[in-house]
Each structure stands twice: as C-alpha cells, then as structure tokens.
Amino acid sequence: MPINITMPALSPTMEEGNLAKWLVKEGDTVKSGDVIAEIETDKATMEVEAVDEGVVAKIVVPAGTEGVKVNSLIAILAADGEDVGAAAAGGGSAPKAEAKPAEAPKEAEKPAAAAPAPAVTASAGPAPAKDGNRVFSSPLARRIAKEAGVDISAVSGSGPHGRVVKSDVEKAVSSGGAKSAAAAAPAAAASAAPAAAPKGMSEEAVLKLFEQGSYELVPHDGMRKTIAKRLQESKQTIPHFYVSVDVELDALLALRAQINDSAPRRDDKPAYKLSVNDMVIKAMALALRDVPDANVSWTDTNMVKHKHADVGVAVSIPGGLITPIIRKAELKSLSAISNEMKDLGKRAKERKLKPEEYQGGTTAVSNMGMMGVSNFAAVVNPPHATILAVGAGTERVVVKKGQMVIVNAMTVTLSTDHRAVDGALGAELLGAFKRYIESPMGMLV
C-alpha cells in the first residue's frame, strides 16, 4: 500500500511552510531517519526525516513551492516489494490549496482595453497559473527569470496547476521565445512614474531615474514580514521605558583573560573561549534571578512570573535577525554559555535552528558594541518585558577620589514594557546587572 508523506508541523503554531529543497528524487530508496527534504519557515530551514522505509514513487510538490499547508501531501513512497508505478498512481493527490489558481480564466472577463498585449510563450502547454495579476511560480523560477530578463508571465507552467517552475524558465531562456522583461522596462517605468515629482526634483529627473533603472523592487520574504509585524506590534502596543547606565569593564576584562588562559586544551584547541557577550548574558540572567519581579511577561489578565532566566541573544543573519535562547542561563557556567552560544549562533546564520531554540524566552540581549555603536535603545520583543542594549567598550576618563583616571567602560540601556516593569524596578534590575559586571567574581559562585 502506498505511503503518503505529508507536510510536517515544525512548531505548534505552524500552518504552512515553503518546500525549499528535495534531497531525494523519484526512484531513490529511503530508510527511516533519512533526511529527505528541507522546509523553510519564516525564521529557519528545517530538515524532514523519513518515518517509513520505501522507494520514492512520486514527488507531488516540487522544490521551491511556497505556502504548502501542514498535513498536505508532498510525496508518495512505495512500500517494500510494492510496484513503484502502481504506488505513484494509487497515492493521494496534490494539496487542494493549490487549486486556487483555477479561477484565473476570469481574467478574460475584463474589458479588452485593460488586457495586456499578447506575448509569445516559450512553449506550448497550459497558460501560467494566475490569481488576479499574480503569476504562480516557484522562488527559484522567479530568480532565474529575473536574472535572464525573462517575463515570467509569458512562460507556460508545467508544475502543479500550471505553476511555473525552474525547468519552464530554463526552456524559455534556451528557446528565446519568452518576452524579455528588460525590453519593456523603459516604457513600463515611464507609465509608472508618479504624477507629482518629489520635492526638490523635477518630473524629468524622476523619469530619467526610472529609465536608468537606478533602483529595484525586492519582495519581502517571510522573515522580514514577521520582523516587521512583531516590531510594529511592539511599538504600537507596548509602552516603552528606557534606563541607561555606564558600566566599568576593567575587572571583567581581567577575569575573562585569566579564565581563557586557564582553559583546558582538547586537540590543541582551548575547550572554550569566553567573550564579553557571554559574560553579559550571565550577568543579565543573575540580575533577573536577584530581581525576580522583573523576570516577568505581561498578559491582559495575569502577570507571568518566570522561574528561570531564559536569555535570548540577538543574532544578525542575512535578511533580518533571530534571537536564539540560552535556557536557564542563571544556572549555567560561563564556559557552558559560551559554547552553547557559539553553536546557536552558527546554526542561526545557517537558518538551522529548531523553533524551540528561538521561541519564547524571558528577556533578551542585543549587543552592537562589536559594530562600534556606543549607545542605542532596543525594541522590546514580546512576550519579553525587557531587553538590554549593549554598546561598545571604550576608554574613558572618570574622576575617582578627586583624581582623573582612565577606565574601560560601556553604556547599556534597558528597554522595559512599562506595564510590567516600571522605572524603579528597571533601575533595580540594571543596578544588579552593573554589580555583576563590575565585580565579576560573583558570576563564578
């Protein structure tokens, strides 16, 4: 009996995902536990493992397909000893969600004056699937079409329900039959020019910029949309309050050097190498332990008081940022935090984090000191009630006992959700953090 492979739910809230890549092809034999595909969510790329053994009889959803619903059919396996052809014919059908483009023929009902000029298609076959003015195509197909100057709306799609896929665009490029998008660009740009020029710029100058192609439109990906939505929600619904303090680093830098110098070596490499950020994470976790009223999240009906400090750390990745979380950071050693952060940071940049590794948390740290930023205020990331913005450590002249001395110091700013953490409580939390940074031996006990 054929075995259906469906789109997995990679997190409790996942409703759909993008099928980024197949790691197997039709006819391949797979075993339980083999990685067969990669699924993209808005924040990560996850590997899908086979649950059963068999031969890949049919790949229902091609690589590059976006918006595949959870539990919809993506491939069919032939069980051991089963005829592959029969399994492919007897398996389930493609997800019904893809049937939406079938409404495209309604385009013909529009007035003739509004219809686009006929274009020569690259090959015979079904017209590309559309929904309104949108052509249904895979991300890879769109990228190849853009690089080759091919108008993707003039390419016939051979994918499910007329979706344009990679092979369709490649065929169009090789045949030269598809209308070049670049050829129509000057006229389209001129017609799309705004009626009124921006202040200080003539309409002729604006038209010239359009014709020269001095900019391009880059569609938002899922990650950027999610970041925009969450930050907009944060600034619109969370009353932010900010507290800043200068923190001296000399004692911390000396202890860090001593710990790193004494690290045991494995395969001629140190077992760990602490960064200032590792010690900032630990100090923030201990401060939340000491000031538990600040280790909270706001809801409309309750104040959620967390039992542990789960510290999210902002990591910049292509196209946005993500905050992998050090769970129970107040209980972990500095070396454990350092090694865990290196692993999480590496996999974050590869978009290989699991949802449970970046969702939730009780606070966050955003360190832009390594970028030379001296002072900034971060946006609270719900459901957190606090986030610590860390600036660069620099040499500064301060007065101690009537004498001017040079110290290494940095400015940190605590952003709080004022509904949950008011000014006095935020100052108390920041004071506890300052004590651990300036007397770092307290982080070792």
CA–CA separation, 117 vs 404, rounded Å?
Answer: 77
Mark whether 220 is an active-site residue.
no
Q: Which amino acid is at 24?
A: V
Given the DSSP bridges, would you call strands 303-305 and 325-326 parallel, antiparallel or unpaired? unpaired
CA–CA separation, 344 vs 367, rounded Å?
Answer: 16
Tell me if residue 83 falls in helix, strand or coil: coil
- Give residue for tokens 């982080």: 443
- Among residues 240, 306, 384, 418, the one annotated as catalytic is 418
- Give residue for tokens 């494995």: 266
Say how many C-beta atoms besides its own lie within 10 A of residue 148's C-beta: 17
Handedness of CA 367, 372, 378, 382 (dihedral sign): negative
Cα–Cα distances in angstroms (integers) from residue 287 to residues 149, 298, 429, 436, in the given order:
56, 19, 6, 8
The DSSP bridge partners found for residue 75 are: 5, 59
CA–CA separation, 167 vs 170, rounded Å?
Answer: 5
Phi-psi region of 267 (alpha: psi -120 to 50; beta: other; left: phi over 0): left
CA–CA separation, 220 vs 232, rounded Å?
Answer: 16
Decide if 304 contacts 360 (C-beta within 8 A): no
- Give residue for tokens 């790193």: 260
Q: Which amino acid is at 66?
A: E
Decide if 166 contacts 147 (C-beta within 8 A): no
Cα–Cα distances in angstroms (integers) from residue 171 to residues 65, 139, 156, 218, 392, in the given order:
19, 17, 10, 25, 53
Nearest to 408 by CA among 256, 295, 271, 262: 256
Residues marked active site are found at: 418
